[in-house]
Amino acid sequence: MKRARNFNAGPAALPLEVLQRAQNEWLNIEDSGMSVMELSHRSSEFEKFITMPFNH
């Protein structure tokens, strides 16, 4: 598949590796058995997920 390039203002194209990881983890984030949309916002799994960008 040829990847499109977005040079417009707004969201930029994500690296393919990021998209593949998101695809792989969409239904089972961090081996929680739930998708990110199903996690409680009070759960430890969600807390790890939401702080992940700040810890890397």
Q: In the chain, how many domains are there?
A: 1
Asked if residue 43 is part of any domain, the answer here is yes
Q: What is the radius of gyration, based on Cα positions, of the chain? A: 14
Asked if residue 56 is part of any domain, the answer here is yes
**Could you read off the pLDDT of 1-56 as tens digits, one per residue?**
788 777 777 777 788 898 898 888 888 887 888 887 888 888 888 888 788 777 76
Asked if residue 6 is part of any domain, the answer here is no
Asked if residue 42 is part of any domain, the answer here is yes
* Confidence (pTM): 0.51
Asked if residue 13 is part of any domain, the answer here is no
Asked if residue 41 is part of any domain, the answer here is yes
Residue among 52, 54, 13, 19 at smallest CA distance from 39: 52
